[in-house]
Amino acid sequence: MSVEKSTFQGEKPGKRTATAAKLLQRIVFISLGAALFSIGLEVFLVPNNIIDGGITGISIMLSHFFHLPLGIFLTLLNLPFLFLGYKQIGKTFAISTLFGVIAMSVGTSLLHPVPAVTIDPLLAAVFGGVILGVGIGLVIRSGGSLDGTEIVAILINKKSPFSVGEIVLFINLFILGSAGFVFGWDHAMYSLIAYYIAMKMIDVTIEGLDQSKSVWIISEKYKEIGDALTQRLGRGVTYLHGEGAYTGDDKKVIFTVITRLEEAKLKSIVEEWDENAFIAVGNIHDVKGGQFKKKDIH
């Protein structure tokens, strides 16, 4: 009893509450993503013989051949990749993915009797791709996956310059080729359209519409530029200490984070003070904490 008491005394109520809130948020967003994915499949793509890719695409073709529920193949074929995700990425990822796959399988079963919204394959490819991509993006952003190929894509993404959506597209080109022999080449090409749209929507959902950018500026007039960025752009700046490798001179490096819509204005402000200033801009997928929120400009 004394051991249990000391353990609970060491836990902070606020920390347990925050953990429970994060878990609830993860469950909600994975469920929402799986629901959107199921709608994209059963209401738009599958009724029009437009397949999804990866394990889902293979499951659709197997379901077509054997006349068995799609959810059975979705669950069985994803199990080996769940094990891979557990070994390579972690327990939380594997559990989140398992929950997402089960929710997706249940969703496709419930929505199977629902009639298609449209019988126009082009409209089905466009709207199905949008809904599918948003669903996948929500699950990935919440720390899970809905397809075994996405697990492979996430692992490759860690060591390559390609986005998750691009890697998924590369893998699925081979699967889409197989779909041409099953459903016809017209439907395979519609599937490619759906994939391209889904790829873009995955990236937008993961990175956000208002993608952030990190900026490094090196200039002798760092103080003037920093003040101008704060006053005119409304962004906070940080001065970093640097040293020139060739000259050995001490330099001040301005660091700030902006949105992509503010990039042109930032460069204009810097050029007003120093046309020869060094500027490096990089993409950031997520920004948390600090004082990134834009300040009011009066």
Exposure of 33 in the CB half-sphere (CA atoms within 13 A) = 31
User: Closest by alpha carbon to 49, among 199, 181, 146, 170?
Assistant: 181
pLDDT tens-place string over residues 49-100:
888 778 888 888 888 888 888 888 888 888 888 887 777 667 888 888 889 9
Tell me the average pLDDT across 94-112: 89
**In which residue are the tokens 């597209």 written?**
169
Angstrom distances, CA of residue 198 to CA of 4, 6, 41, 225, 278: 50, 51, 12, 41, 37
What residue segments make up the domains of the chain, in order of their start?
22-207, 212-283
Q: What is the pLDDT of residue 103?
A: 92
Query: pLDDT band for position 3 (50/70/90)?
Result: very low
User: Closest by alpha carbon to 122, among 52, 186, 180?
Assistant: 186
Q: What is the pLDDT of residue 74?
A: 87
Q: What is the pLDDT of residue 153?
A: 74
Q: What is the pLDDT of residue 8?
A: 41
pLDDT tens-place string over residues 225-276:
888 888 888 888 888 888 776 676 788 888 988 877 678 888 888 999 988 8
* pLDDT, the chain, mean: 81
| Higher per-residue pLDDT: 103 or 2 | 103
- Tokens representing 42 are 């059963």
Neighbours of 248 (CB within 10 A): 7
> Is 183 a residue whose pLDDT tops 70?
yes
290: left (phi over 0), alpha (psi -120 to 50) or beta: left
Q: What is the pLDDT of residue 291?
A: 54
pLDDT tens-place string over residues 276-292:
888 988 877 666 655 55
Query: pLDDT band for position 2 (50/70/90)?
Result: very low
